[in-house]
Amino acid sequence: MLLAIALAGIASHRNLIIILLGVELAFVASTILLVYGIAGLNSDPSQGFIAILSVWTVASVEIISLIAVYVYMKSRGMPLDVSKLSRMKW
């Protein structure tokens, strides 16, 4: 359900921040599924724990890079609409 909402939000929005928050929500959905795999399926918890840490690391770095890009784009007055990004010239 969370993944469905995340995919719907990514597909229906043009704002860069909202799209990346949708990616973050997909990470949360995958983490919940991993925790369910650890707890509910009696699998090896150590491997699941490492997988969760990997997902968390990627999600954290994504948020941090999102903020850096957001501050840079706002300072330059660049639009956050992804449909207009292809017309930007560096």
Partner 1 sequence: MIGEILFVLASLITICAAAAIFLSRRVIHSIIAVTFAFAGSAALFAYMNQVMLALLQLFIFVGGLSTYLMVAVASEDSSMPLGVSRFVFILIVAGIGLSVILLGNAATPQASYATQTQPPGASLPAYYSLIFAMVALLFSGVLGSVLIIKRFVRLVV
Q: Which residues bind partner 1 (CB under 8 A)?
A: 1-2, 4-9, 11-15, 17-18, 21-22, 24-25, 28, 31-32, 35-36, 38-40, 42, 45-46, 49-50, 52-54, 56-57, 59-61, 63-72, 74-76, 80-81
For the CA atoms of the chain, what is the radius of gyration?
16
The two tokens of residue 54 are 């990997």
DSSP H stretches of helix in 1-90 = 2-12, 16-40, 45-76
Question: Cβ of residue 33: shortest distance to partner 1, in angstroms?
Answer: 9
Question: Cβ of residue 61: shortest distance to partner 1, in angstroms?
Answer: 4
Q: How far, rounded to the nearest angstrom, does the alpha carbon of residue 81 sit from its chain's CA centroid?
A: 17
